[in-house]
Amino acid sequence: MSGVPLPETFPLAEIILRTGDARAGLEALQRLLVTSKLDEEPDILPLFRNYPHLCALFSRVYFIDQAWARLAFRCELTIGFFRADLVVADLHRNHYLLVEFEHGHADSIFTTGGRSTPAWSKTFERGYSQIVDWFWWLARNSESGPYPRLFPRAMPTISGLLVIGRDIPEQETELRERLAWRMLKTRVDSHEIYLSTYDELYRALRSNLQAM
């Protein structure tokens, strides 16, 4: 799709990743991580609205081939009855990442609730279910008008990302394994769903920025 004009109705904006602007966004994310609790509306969503090149940097983490990347993004995109907090696209490879941000608290992923074995939190299940609903809607409407507006080329690769919570302590081996297993072993209608804490996201973005 290199050089091919996009349809006027395409809802994403093309962007050329600038490392300096991405670094400024990464530093702002680092400052947020100093606090023990991150909340979606006052902290997380404004950060990504204000730093579009930080959004574009997601492509370095979740897309494989960067040699010919033609990037686009959109914060807060409506998908049917639902809303994705962020969409990042590699238009050359026809690959889209749909992102759901939930709050970044220590108990955002697992909660004890008086139990001996921690359970998946309501916040986690809500965020994960949101991604499942996106994929349901896309499958249901793959032949209708809104779908080609979002994905102008046939057969796009569409993945989901849930960013939630903070790092699980290293000594909590079973919780870390449960989270990793759920990400590695669970797909929805062939779509990958990535899971990341805000600390993991920061380290991944930093590592890929340093490699540029």
pTM (predicted TM-score): 0.93
Residue 2 has what pLDDT?
52
Q: What is the largest CA-CA distance in the chain?
A: 57
Residue 199 has what pLDDT?
97
Segment holding 25, helix H or strand E:
helix 19-33
Residue 3 has what pLDDT?
57
Residue 12 has what pLDDT?
92
Backbone angles phi, psi at 125, to 5 degrees: -65, -35
Tell me the residue type at 150.
Answer: L
Q: Is 98 exposed, middle or buried (0-12, 13-18, 19+ CB in 10 A)?
A: buried
Q: Mind listing the pLDDT tens digit of every residue in the chain (212 residues)?
A: 555 677 777 899 999 999 999 999 999 999 999 988 899 989 999 999 999 999 999 998 987 555 456 899 999 999 888 999 999 999 888 999 999 999 999 999 999 877 778 999 999 999 999 999 999 999 999 888 788 888 988 899 999 999 999 999 999 999 999 999 999 999 999 999 999 999 999 999 999 999 88
DSSP assigned state of 43: I
Tell me the residue type at 196.
Answer: S
Residue 145 has what pLDDT?
76
Segment holding 181, helix H or strand E:
helix 173-185
Q: Is 108 exposed, middle or buried (0-12, 13-18, 19+ CB in 10 A)?
A: buried
Sheet holding 191-196, edge to edge: 13-15, 71-79, 82-90, 95-101, 157-163, 191-196, 187-188
> Cβ(86)–Cβ(55) under 8 Å?
yes
Residue 203 has what pLDDT?
97
Proportion of the chain in helix, strand, coil states, percent, rounded to 5 = 40, 25, 35
Ordered by start, the domain boundaries in the chain are 13-210
Strand ranges, E, within 64-210? 71-79, 82-90, 95-101, 110-111, 119-120, 157-163, 187-188, 191-196
| Beta-carbon count within 10 A of 172 CB | 14
Nearest-CA neighbor of 101 among 118, 124, 121?
Answer: 124
Residue 115 has what pLDDT?
74
DSSP assigned state of 64: S
| Domain 13-210 fold | Restriction Endonuclease (3.40.91)
Q: Is 43 exposed, middle or buried (0-12, 13-18, 19+ CB in 10 A)?
A: middle
Residue 166 has what pLDDT?
96
| Start-to-end C-alpha separation, the chain | 23
